[in-house]
């Protein structure tokens, strides 16, 4: 049966790290709208130029733009057994759009859909964001304070220079939290009412959260 997994939780709750690990574990693609949008920005496309103006303010990129990117991506062959979708949907409108995309792609296919909610103490999150770094090649996420690379600013796996996201500054981070609570948090109830929500305690070490995640997807 196809396994469709989506993830909810505030910025820097650990979704990126855990969903990267999960995608490798399950053999499903890790699809992350933030990274897809940042790739458009790097390529200098029209979508990228529009996206940047919203990302820089900590606001959601317009739903049609993200919906078109996700619709195309989920229809690709590597998603046929399942996907790990990180950062989408982020509003009720996007959740409804995802239902439409799934029903178009799946047709008669048997699919199980689950929303995993990372429940976390939000006080530590701004600190996590402003020290965050990631590898532009493999996507590995580091943190200068909590999970530093062995050699400063260099990825342990790829030996390339780590990057800090342009929107990982305090001002934009605060706006991203506001956007999250206003637009995305209502999805917790939306998926709870559908009986597909699994809540996990996202406080603790990467390994502790990983074990809880494995339980939640069983």
Which residues, 63 to 102, sit near ligand AMP by CB under 6 A? 66, 87-88, 90, 94
CA angle 179, 136, 155 (to 5 degrees): 115
Please identify, using beta-carbon distances, which residue of 3 and 59 lies nearer to ligand AMP: 59
CA distance 209 to 18: 8
* 90 part of the active site: yes
Binding mask 154-193 for ligand AMP (x = CB under 6 A): -------------x--------x-----------------
* 15 part of the active site: yes
Point out which span in 56-64, 120-128, 132-140, 207-215 binds ligand AMP (CB under 6 A).
Answer: 56-64
Which residues, 106 to 135, sit near ligand AMP by CB under 6 A? none
**Dihedral of the alpha carbons of 8, 11, 14, 16, in degrees to the nearest 10:** 80
Please identify, using beta-carbon distances, which residue of 4 and 108 lies nearer to ligand AMP: 4
Tell whether omega for the bond before 89 is within 30 degrees of 0, i.e. cis: yes
Q: Is 34 in the site for ligand AMP (CB under 6 A)?
A: yes
With tokens 């956007």, the residue in question is 179
The token duo for 25 is 């574990």
DSSP code at position 160: P
Catalytic residues: 15, 90, 132, 165, 176
């Amino acid at each position: 049966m196809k396994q469709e997994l989506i993830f909810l939780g505030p910025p820097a709750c650990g979704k990126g790290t855990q969903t990267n690990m999960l995608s490798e574990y399950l053999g499903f693609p890790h699809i992350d709208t933030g990274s897809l949008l940042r790739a458009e920005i790097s390529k200098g496309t029209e979508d990228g130029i529009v996206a940047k103006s919203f990302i820089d303010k900590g606001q959601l990129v317009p739903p049609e733009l993200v919906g078109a990117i996700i619709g195309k991506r989920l229809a690709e062959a590597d998603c046929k057994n399942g996907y790990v979708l990180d950062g989408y949907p982020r509003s009720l409108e996007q959740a409804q759009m995802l239902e439409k995309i799934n029903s178009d792609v799946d047709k008669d296919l048997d699919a199980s859909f689950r929303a995993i909610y990372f429940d976390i103490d939000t006080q530590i999150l701004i600190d996590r964001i402003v020290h965050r770094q990631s590898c532009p090649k493999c996507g590995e996420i580091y943190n200068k304070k909590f999970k530093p690379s062995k050699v400063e600013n260099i990825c342990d796996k790829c030996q390339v220079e780590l990057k800090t996201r342009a929107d990982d500054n305090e001002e934009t981070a605060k706006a991203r939290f506001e956007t999250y609570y206003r637009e995305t948090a209502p999805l917790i109830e939306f998926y709870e009412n559908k009986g597909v929500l699994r809540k996990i305690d996202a406080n603790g070490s990467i390994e502790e959260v990983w074990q809880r995640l494995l339980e939640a997807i069983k």
